[in-house]
């Protein structure tokens, strides 16, 4: 299966980190030069936003951050290459991904993927996801579940060529940040219509999602494409996370099939 890596030209350290992991498992990949939103002039930035108002299904439109713009354009470039290619399925990765050794088996061929599958999430998510009760598919002793709610992050996924064609065919007025466009059931014009599967446990996770205890001897990255959209942490965030309302909400969601994706 063809694999694409999104990587900024200046991020040679990240490229080396990604390359060493993939070469260790014998996984070939093609590097795609990522778009850096910081290099856009104010006029080009405003022009980009004017054609992509982010007002679909919203009472109040959202603004594009420069990092979101760069991240979206990077993924869009890959979608276009896949849409114009011949492979039925391709894999897409950002350069801060930690991977399981089992990934090499998943990427050896796409013959195990049903043609009606649009996207397969390979990574964890920052939120709990509602999954089907039973696996939709199993491969190499790993289960894949149907995704029934909004999920976040677009650091590692497999995408159907026909799905990539649908994405690039959409009018610019429906464009959203990459993970919103793929996985947000309310804010994307297309996500609810996609047949999305999730590996659980996941095969990949972005570096920022690993606990510090697991990072001994490993590179620790922060987002460098979507640089202005990094979640804020601190005492206020921790208090909110562990408030009674947040805890009760988490329990309720768990009872209704929402799961935290492990790695």
Distance CA 82, CA 86 (A): 8
Q: What is the pLDDT of residue 256?
A: 75
pLDDT digits (tens, 9 = 90+) for 36-86: 999 999 999 999 999 999 999 999 999 999 999 999 999 999 999 999 999
Task: Tell me the per-residue pLDDT of 126-150, one tens digit each, with 9 for 90 and over.
Answer: 999 999 999 999 999 999 999 999 9
Give Dmax (Cα) for the chain: 51
Q: What is the pLDDT of residue 210?
A: 75
User: Phi/psi of residue 212, each to 5°?
Assistant: -55, -30
Question: Is pLDDT at 257 greater than 80 in this prediction?
Answer: no
Nearest 5°: the CA angle 241, 93, 211 is 35
Helix (H, G, I), strand (E, B) or coil at 95: coil
Strand partners, 93: 5, 156
168: pLDDT strictly greater than 50: yes
Q: Strand (E) positions, 55-187? A: 89-94, 97-99, 119-121, 129-130, 137-139, 142-146, 156-160
Q: Which residue has the higher pLDDT, 7 or 211?
A: 7
Average pLDDT on 2-10 reads 97
Top-confidence residue, 206 or 196:
196
Average pLDDT of the residues of the chain: 89
Rounded mean pLDDT, 194-212: 88
Q: Tell whether the model's pLDDT for residue 213 goes beyond 50.
A: no
* pLDDT of 23 strictly over 90: yes
Mean pLDDT throughout 86-112?
A: 97
Select from 94, 52, 92 the least CA-distant residue to 69: 52
- Residue 9 pLDDT > 90, yes or no? yes
Whether pTM exceeds 0.85: yes
42: Cβ contacts below 8 Å, ≥ 6 apart: none
| All structural domains of the chain with their residue ranges | 2-259
| 3-state SS, residue 93 | strand
Looking at residue 245, what is its pLDDT?
60
pLDDT higher than threshold 60 for residue 4? yes
- What is the CATH code of the structural domain delimited by 2-259? 3.90.550
Lowest mean pLDDT among 104-118, 123-137, 217-231: 217-231
Paired sense of beta strands 119-121 and 156-160, if any: antiparallel
Alpha-helix residue ranges (DSSP H) falling in 100-210: 103-106, 161-169, 178-183
Two tokens at 47?
């022009």
Closest CA to 158 of 191, 223, 110, 208: 110
200's CB contacts (< 8 A; 6+ apart) are 131, 143, 144, 145, 259, 261, 262
């Amino acid at each position: 299966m063809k694999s694409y890596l999104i990587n900024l030209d200046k991020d040679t350290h990240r490229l080396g980190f990604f390359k060493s992991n993939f070469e260790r498992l014998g996984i070939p990949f093609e590097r795609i030069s990522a778009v850096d939103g910081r290099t856009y002039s104010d006029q080009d930035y405003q022009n980009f936003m004017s054609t992509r108002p982010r007002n679909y299904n919203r009472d109040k439109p959202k603004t594009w951050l420069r990092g979101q713009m760069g991240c979206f354009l990077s993924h869009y470039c890959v979608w276009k290459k896949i849409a114009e290619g011949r492979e039925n399925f391709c894999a897409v990765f950002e350069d801060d991904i930690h991977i399981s050794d089992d990934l090499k088996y998943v990427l050896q061929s796409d013959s195990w993927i049903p043609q009606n599958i649009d996207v397969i999430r390979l990574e964890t998510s920052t939120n709990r996801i509602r999954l089907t009760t039973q696996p939709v598919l199993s491969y190499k002793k790993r289960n894949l579940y149907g995704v029934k709610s909004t999920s976040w992050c677009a650091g590692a996924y497999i995408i159907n060529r026909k799905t990539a064609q649908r994405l690039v065919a959409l009018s610019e007025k429906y464009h959203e940040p990459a993970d919103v466009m793929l996985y947000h059931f309310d804010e994307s014009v297309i996500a609810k219509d996609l047949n999305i599967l999730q590996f659980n446990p996941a095969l990949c996770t972005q570096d920022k999602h690993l606990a510090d205890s697991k990072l001994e001897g490993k590179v620790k990255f922060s987002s460098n494409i979507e640089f202005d959209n990094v979640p804020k942490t601190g005492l206020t965030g921790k208090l909110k996370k562990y408030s009674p309302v947040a805890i009760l909400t988490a329990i309720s969601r768990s009872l209704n099939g929402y799961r935290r994706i492990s790695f």
